[in-house]
Amino acid sequence: MQQIDTLIHARWIIPVEPAGTVYEHYSLAIHDGRILDLLPSSQAQKQYTSSNTLMLDEHALLPGLINTHTHAAMSLFRGLADDLPLMDWLNNHIWPAETAWVNSDFVHDGTQLAIAEMLRGGTTCFNDMYFFPDEVARLAASSGIRAAVGLILIDFPTAWATDADEYLSKGLAIQDSYRNHPLVSTVFAPHAPYTVSDVPLQKIQVLAEELDLQIHIHLHETRDEVQQSEQQQHCRPIERLEKLGLLSPRLLAVHMTQLNDEEIEKIALTGTHVVHCPESNLKLASGFCPVQQLNQAGVNVALGTDGAASNNDLDMFGEMRSAALLAKAVAGDASAIPAETALRMATLNGAKALGIDGTTGSLQIGKAADIIAVQLNDIEDQPIYNPISHIVYACSRHKVSDVWVAGKHLLKNRSLTTLDEQGIIETAKDWRERIKKRDEPKN
């Protein structure tokens, strides 16, 4: 008998690789933060012993979900301005609120709230884009969640940096200090083609090659964005990024609701990844990402929630379901994005886009033990023919009972082990009071 750190016996294990596989009465052996073995429970009981053995006989184990695009700290703006189109929402509500409130305390408290929400909903890794990424990196490391921390760059000054050079140098300092961190990686995060000019985009392209980093940008989010670029730059944003050498397997293009056939081909040929945020696109009426067409062209499509100000939750279960349903409506084809594809988009495809699929994204021997357990024993779960179908079409994030990242048990029977839930709730309420007071009309 081999002594190991953790042994989990489960009713079902959905490894995501091989595609569509569901193992029944299987076990996961975890040691030193990694998946040591994946085998039938009857065998596991003979082969392994652990003082930390869990019997999850009403649960499905699956890889932790990867939220491949978010602005975590914006959870403090959840519900602050709803039901507005993107440019009105950004120019008249979000950017003024950010100017008034965003500092390192805001980012600390908002990101902590977001990490708690994400862990409780089965998200074990997030790709962030926000100011004060140093706070995001510190919090990810201390809470134990995996994160790709965006080194943000935007042409205008904010409380974080004054110009492109300062955004870059501050970002590079963070990259340097987390270079070998087991949980925190860094990704360049120029905000969007309409907020970042050519020179900094070129610098990022060169640095990304040198440092072997991914680049994360909002792209073709709305028709207005594309039209404005056609008028001012005399080309579409994708064309401009192509000229700057940015279309490549390093690029994560977020949203992509405005695409012609030629652009889809270009995205596929260059190996550019697409991050689909269905609920944010629906809420801001930004348009529809042609996910089925991208899929058929061979493009790697991952899923993200976007920030909680435009969603308004960080719920990857909701995102999987919305992505699957929306893809069918957009393609006029009920077979578009089946449940197992939606699950792959929320796990392995995100890991691929972030360049960390050797570490996470599926339950494979040797990968990090980034695992979630979904309890399927309630009225609303019955009967169960196919647990993958339930995960995508029938159950909610509230069914996530346990979460491990790199073998560390971060959510234990729905309680967070590294974060103070009550303290986080109180802090969010305090921010609400301060933000509300400023927004009230003065007389």
Query: Could you tell me how many residues of this chain bind Zn ion (CB under 5 A)?
Result: 1
Nearest approach, Cβ of residue 145 and Zn ion (Å): 19
Closest-CA residue to 128 (of 119, 116, 144, 115) = 115
Angle made by CA atoms 139, 141, 146, in degrees to the nearest 5: 105
Instruction: Identify any residues that bridge with 348 across adjacent strands, giving them in sequence order.
Output: none
Closer residue to Zn ion in complex, CB, 48/89: 89
Closer residue to Zn ion in complex, CB, 306/319: 306
* Residues 202/244, Cβ–Cβ less than 8 Å: yes
Nearest approach, Cβ of residue 35 and Zn ion (Å): 32
Return d(Cα 35, Cα 27) in angstroms, integer: 11
Nearest approach, Cβ of residue 366 and Zn ion (Å): 33
Gyration radius (Cα) of the chain, Å: 21
Distances, alpha carbon 371 to alpha carbons 8, 13, 268, 431, in Å: 11, 10, 30, 32
Return d(Cα 255, Cα 257) in angstroms, integer: 6
Closer residue to Zn ion in complex, CB, 135/306: 306
Q: Please tell me whether residue 221 binds Zn ion under the rule CB under 5 A.
A: no
Q: Is 309 helix (H, G, I), strand (E, B) or coil?
A: helix
Q: Is 61 helix (H, G, I), strand (E, B) or coil?
A: strand
Closer residue to Zn ion in complex, CB, 310/362: 310
Closer residue to Zn ion in complex, CB, 27/67: 67
Nearest approach, Cβ of residue 101 and Zn ion (Å): 18
Contact letters (x/-) for Zn ion, 305-344, by CB under 5 A? -x--------------------------------------
Nearest approach, Cβ of residue 299 and Zn ion (Å): 19
Contact letters (x/-) for Zn ion, 279-308, by CB under 5 A? ---------------------------x--
Closer residue to Zn ion in complex, CB, 15/278: 278
Nearest approach, Cβ of residue 244 and Zn ion (Å): 21
Two structure tokens written together for 443:
């007389």
Q: Which residue is nearest to Zn ion (CB)?
A: 306
Query: Please, which residues have CB within 8 angstroms of residue 341's CB and are 6 or more apart in sequence?
Result: 295, 324
Contact set with Zn ion (CB under 5 A): 306
